[in-house]
Amino acid sequence: MTIAEMLDRNARMYPDDCALIELSPSKKKRKEITWKEFNERVNRIANALTSRGVIKGDKVIHLMLNSINWLEAYFGIIRTGAWAVPLNFRFTSQDIKYCADIAEAKIMISSEEFSERVEAISPQLPMIKDYLFVGQNPPEGMEDFEEVISEASSKPVGIELKDDDACGLYFTSGTTGAPKPILITHKNMECAAITENRHHYQTHEDNFILLAPLYHTGAKMHWFGSLIVGGRATLLTEISPRYIFEAIHRERGTVVFLLVPWAQDILGAMDRGELKKEDYDLSCWRLMHIGAQPVPPSLIKHWKEYFPGMQYDTNYGLSESTGPGCVHLGIENERKVGAIGKAGFNWEARIVDDKGADVPRGEIGELVVRGNGVMKEYYKNPERTMETIRDGWLYTGDMAKVDDEGFIYLVDRKKDVIITGGENIFPVEVEDILQSHPKIYDVGVIGIPDERLGEIAVAVIDPKPGENITEEEIKAFCEQNLPRYKRPRRIIFDKVPRNPTGKIEKPKMRQKYT
């Protein structure tokens, strides 16, 4: 069953139940729609696109901030048999052009926040014939989104969708270079929904608080576990510790997916007394889970001091596996925090050497996974696809090891390993240790060239607000907690650059500090 069919089923089974809520706290705006309204608007978008010549296999660029309109457009595109091409809202004009050229998109749906960026390159995009504009006062040459769909039929568009049909072209966040186009199928999307529901036991009564960017194969794939059972979502368009608590309190949120920085911000605000959980009714909040980056065990230990009875899970995934779930800790395995867990529901996982052979338990190798969520391909790049998918196994590029109980621990990205004086340093290990320091808010570790040792480890440290910390304190802490060869040779106090999904942008760090 495709996600478009899941939506249609929800409209039949729960027509008058709330499907989506959109909150803009600073503007004091709240919007909601039912499953029936959601489905009808999706049909209108699909019919409007087909009337403009969109056919199965076409590509439609999708550039908007998180909103109900974002999800309506996404499902509307998919329902036509076209490929949704959701773009990072931080992309520059040239980034947008780069993706549009690869996709050879026929239509672009964009919101008013991106008008200048889109207008700057539209003359250079001859493939795009129509621009649909979400917002007030469409620029010349762009059609008003609401007017277009109001004139379209709300009846089903009647296009057959098959499991192996492609439906999404996702461009990676680009932490390792230019964004790579990843082609996702309907079967991949269904896998994400089934796996997520199996892991987190979502029901029709759950309310998933959606915070992370929708263009990414992260949070919305988590919500697909609710979609499959008609569970609603609340889109919080502005993020702060107080706004998150208010949304949970007022909307009775039950499941929240956080990125590490957001969890750190909540804990910091509570530690300083700026945010008190006693001021809110959070009894409905049953599950907090984290993914998209390594999770410091000290962070979860601290979280459980405030929320001892709350369920917790660590999620591991990548865009090439249609987002999270190919490996996860499991809410029943909280004692193993620090591990990313075991193979997810209906997934397999192995740790292999450079020749693809399994390594002994406890030894470090590359994590490979296999399941229905493995992408179709890197679009227009068969060589890279063959390197990454071998005999059905997806080579993740992440170095990992397995303990005696079968739990997988991430060590680092293959490309981020630092080789200093012939010894391998895995930055994540060093980052986890430093993150446990009570005065450190965020940390990133990279290797930079060194004439004598080849590379040395450099730690970029962002102290907690109001805290003063010296290089001497850091060095003393490292002497107590790290073997000599793993200790950073250089300490820099600065902000740690992260992309919208929370991943450290290490190429930017290397460029800045090398």
Q: What is the pLDDT of residues 312-367, one digit of tens each?
A: 999 999 889 998 899 999 999 999 998 999 999 999 999 999 899 999 999 989 99
**pLDDT score at 177:** 52
Q: Count CB neighbours of 123 within 10 A.
A: 7
Comparing CA positions, the residue from 207, 226, 227 lying closest to residue 75 is: 227
338 close to 360: Cβ distance less than 8 angstroms: no
**Class of the domain covering 417-513:** alpha beta
Instruction: Tell me the two tokens of residue 484.
Output: 């000599």
Residue 91, SS3 per DSSP = coil
Q: How far is CA 355 from CA 232, 358, 365, 366, in A?
A: 45, 9, 10, 10
Residue 150, SS3 per DSSP = helix
302 close to 168: Cβ distance less than 8 angstroms: no
Residues 6+ apart with CB under 8 A from 470: none
**pLDDT score at 140:** 87
pLDDT band at 175 (very low <50, low <70, confident <90, very high): very low
411 close to 337: Cβ distance less than 8 angstroms: no
**pLDDT score at 80:** 97
pLDDT band at 220 (very low <50, low <70, confident <90, very high): confident
Average pLDDT over residues 424-436: 83
- CATH 3.40.50.980 domain range(s) in the chain: 27-180
CA distance 513 to 312: 36
Q: How far is CA 33 from CA 22, 36, 248, in A?
A: 9, 8, 18
Can you say whether residue 20 is alpha, beta or left, with left for phi > 0 and alpha for psi between -120 and 50 degrees?
beta
- CATH 3.30.300.30 domain range(s) in the chain: 417-513
**Class of the domain covering 27-180:** alpha beta
CA distance 377 to 361: 30
Whether the predicted pLDDT of 174 surpasses 60: no
Taking the model in full, what pTM does it have?
A: 0.83
Average pLDDT over residues 2-21: 97
For 363-388, what is each residue's pLDDT tens digit?
Answer: 989 999 999 999 999 999 999 999 99
Whether the predicted pLDDT of 411 surpasses 90: no
Q: Count CB neighbours of 382 within 10 A.
A: 10
Amino acid at 254: T
**pLDDT score at 275:** 96
Lowest mean pLDDT of 222-226, 340-344, 423-427, name the range.
423-427
207 close to 233: Cβ distance less than 8 angstroms: yes
